[in-house]
């Protein structure tokens, strides 16, 4: 290593590999100092009450040229940050536009001071930024020329993506083939057995059978009975201000859900659009302007062949967040569009469709592995693979739908992409539930070794 590095690590609460990594890197003479911040609870504590407590330390002037370029990211910051509330992600807060602007400036100044005063050389983040307060440091680091290493766990056991530019996710030009591993064989079919699609996790609607104790009773009522949450919020002064506003949104959402179609004609030519669960990084981080999913569908309708339909299926885990009445009004105005119940079998829709459309969703991967083309609006991890088409206003959907995906070519190009995957688990929130042989201590050693190899390509 040419010089000892000062590193900043933004890590998730359930991951602890950074402790071993720092100890190991200091012993090997790789780093001088390390600052570690945890997202979620720790970051919320730091940033949620900015109007009351502020941040430690004095203001440090951000160069005007730097500020002007950062200001361009304000809309995306607000889109991400609106999920950060005292309640939970997926519940609207009480901030107005000018408060979001003040939060943006306070957080920007906080991170500028942190980076400059600690002479940070390397920023490591183990989860694509998607909650606002984690987006600013990533974009600022790139703006200041601080090398930023992004890590993203995959659904393939013990493998993660790494990349050095925020916009490189899905393309991975900044990643190299550094690790030897066995090829991953993919199945030539639509159906996938994905751990995170466990049927228990996809359940919708209140059920007494799910009540085991007071905690589960509270969770059931909070999730599925809007009036219960409304009453709870009335007894808490900090929640009371907009409790009725949130209650009305939830009731309107329930009304719109009842309008979803459970019977559609699969014999007509149609594009299947599977809505993402929101808020999530799959849209807020990788969707760019199409975090607004209604916009993607509106744009899709502009290239839809005559007599084709768009079947839009809601995500089974979706709540009222980002499903305002105006969202449904936008979709209702689109000709030849039908909203489909989340209970409708997704594989029937994939198989019968002309093609599948998504921002970055799994449905695109399911489509191409089964031989059907996928139209994407964002930057999914499979973006560069055969059968995937980026949306553009001059697309010929009839021509695209007639092209079958060459599975052998798909397998070959997938293996080329997979050769850039790194070994280890850098985001283990649910990993032990999915893979029973996972060992935390062994993984800490593996991750440290993996990250050392990656980092040395930039600093040796």
pLDDT digits (tens, 9 = 90+) for 48-77: 778 777 787 889 999 999 999 999 999 999
Is pLDDT at 1 greater than 80 in this prediction? no
CA distance linking residue 366 with residue 356, whole number of Å = 9
Residue 326: φ, ψ to 5°? -65, -30
Each residue of 163-214: pLDDT tens digit?
Answer: 999 999 999 999 999 999 889 999 999 998 776 555 444 445 556 566 667 6
CA distance linking residue 200 with residue 202, whole number of Å = 5
Average of per-residue pLDDT across 124-137: 94
Is pLDDT at 217 greater than 90 in this prediction? no
Is pLDDT at 460 greater than 90 in this prediction? no
Beta pairing partners, 311:
272, 338
Give how far the C-alpha of residue 241 lies from the chain's centroid of Cα atoms, to the nearest Å. Answer: 29
Locate tokens 């007494």: which residue? Answer: 208
Q: Residue 206's pLDDT is what?
A: 55
Say if residues 238 and 86 touch (Cβ distance below 8 Å). Answer: yes
Q: Residue 202's pLDDT is what?
A: 46
Residue 272: φ, ψ to 5°? -95, 120
**What are the structural domain ranges in the chain?**
5-158+424-457, 208-225+260-416
Is pLDDT at 151 greater than 80 in this prediction? yes
Average of per-residue pLDDT across 33-62: 82
57-64 LR contacts (CB < 8 Å, sep 24+): 57/113, 59/109, 60/109, 60/112, 60/113, 60/116, 60/117, 62/108, 62/109, 62/112
Percent of the chain with pLDDT over 70: 92
User: Do β-strands 337-340 and 5-11 pair in parallel, antiparallel, or remain unpaired?
Assistant: unpaired
**For residue 215, what are the contacts with CB-CB under 8 A and spacing of at least 6?**
none
Question: Six-digit token pair at 113?
Answer: 């001071």
Average of per-residue pLDDT across 90-96: 82
Q: Residue 203's pLDDT is what?
A: 46
Sheet of 422-423, strand order: 31-38, 5-11, 122-125, 147-153, 159-163, 422-423
Each residue of 337-384: pLDDT tens digit?
Answer: 999 998 899 999 999 999 999 999 999 999 999 999 999 999 999 999
Q: Residue 435's pLDDT is what?
A: 78
Domain range 208-225+260-416, CATH class: alpha beta
Each residue of 379-398: pLDDT tens digit?
Answer: 999 999 999 999 999 999 99
CA distance linking residue 268 with residue 272, whole number of Å = 12
Q: What is the mean pLDDT of the chain?
A: 90
Average of per-residue pLDDT across 413-421: 96
Q: How confident is the model at residue 91 (pLDDT cuts 50, 70, 90)?
A: confident
Alpha-carbon distances, residue 260 vs 72, 252, 256, 313 (angstroms): 37, 13, 7, 9
Strands in 154-237 per DSSP E: 159-163
Q: In which element (H, E) is residue 10 found?
A: strand 5-11
Question: Six-digit token pair at 176?
Answer: 């190299």
Say if residues 286 and 128 touch (Cβ distance below 8 Å). Answer: yes
Query: Pick the residue with more confidence: 441 or 1?
Result: 441
**For residue 278, what are the contacts with CB-CB under 8 A and spacing of at least 6?**
284, 291, 293, 315, 318, 321, 322, 323
Say if residues 7 and 35 touch (Cβ distance below 8 Å). Answer: yes
Is pLDDT at 244 greater than 90 in this prediction? no
Alpha-carbon distances, residue 446 vs 17, 436, 450 (angstroms): 9, 17, 6
Q: Residue 345's pLDDT is what?
A: 92
């Amino acid at each position: 290593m040419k010089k000892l590095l000062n590193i900043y690590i933004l890590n998730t609460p359930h991951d602890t590999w950074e402790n071993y990594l720092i100890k190991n890197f200091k012993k090997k003479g790789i780093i001088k100092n390390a600052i570690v911040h945890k997202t979620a609870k720790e970051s919320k504590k730091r940033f949620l009450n900015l109007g009351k407590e502020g941040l430690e330390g004095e203001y440090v002037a951000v160069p005007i040229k730097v500020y002007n370029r950062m200001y361009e990211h304000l809309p995306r910051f607000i889109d991400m940050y609106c999920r950060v509330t005292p309640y939970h992600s997926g519940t609207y807060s009480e901030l107005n536009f000018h408060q979001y602007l003040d939060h943006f400036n306070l957080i920007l100044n906080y991170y500028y001071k942190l980076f400059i005063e600690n002479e940070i050389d390397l920023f490591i983040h183990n989860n694509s930024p998607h909650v606002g307060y984690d987006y600013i440091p990533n974009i600022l680091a790139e703006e200041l020329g601080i090398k930023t290493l992004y890590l993203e766990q995959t659904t393939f056991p013990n493998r993660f993506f790494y990349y050095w530019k925020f916009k490189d996710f899905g393309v991975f030009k900044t990643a190299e083939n550094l690790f030897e591993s066995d090829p991953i064989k993919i199945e030539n079919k639509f159906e996938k057995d994905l751990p995170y699609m466990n049927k228990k996790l996809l359940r919708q609607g209140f059920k007494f059978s799910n009540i085991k104790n007071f905690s589960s009773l509270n969770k059931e009522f909070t999730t599925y009975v809007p009036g219960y949450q409304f009453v709870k919020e009335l007894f808490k002064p900090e929640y009371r201000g907009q409790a009725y506003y949130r209650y009305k949104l939830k009731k309107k959402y329930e009304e719109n859900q009842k309008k979803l179609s459970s019977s559609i004609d699969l014999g007509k030519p149609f594009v299947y659009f599977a809505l993402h669960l929101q808020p999530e990084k799959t849209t807020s981080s990788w969707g760019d302007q199409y975090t607004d999913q209604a916009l993607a569908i509106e744009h899709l309708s502009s290239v839809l062949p005559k007599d084709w339909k768009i079947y839009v299926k809601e995500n089974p885990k979706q709540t009222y967040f980002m499903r305002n009445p105006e969202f449904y009004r936008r979709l209702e105005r689109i000709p030849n569009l039908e909203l489909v119940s989340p209970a409708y079998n997704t594989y029937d829709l994939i198989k019968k469709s002309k093609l599948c459309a998504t921002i970055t969703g799994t449905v695109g991967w399911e489509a191409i592995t089964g031989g059907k083309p996928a139209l994407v609006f964002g930057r999914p991890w499979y973006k560069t693979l055969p059968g995937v088409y980026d949306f553009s206003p001059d697309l010929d959907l009839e021509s695209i739908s007639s092209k079958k995906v060459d599975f052998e070519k798909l397998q070959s190009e997938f293996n080329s992409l997979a050769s850039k995957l790194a070994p280890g688990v850098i985001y283990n929130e649910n990993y032990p539930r999915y893979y029973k042989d996972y060992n935390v201590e062994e993984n800490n050693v593996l991750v440290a070794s993996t990250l050392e190899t990656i980092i040395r390509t930039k600093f040796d």
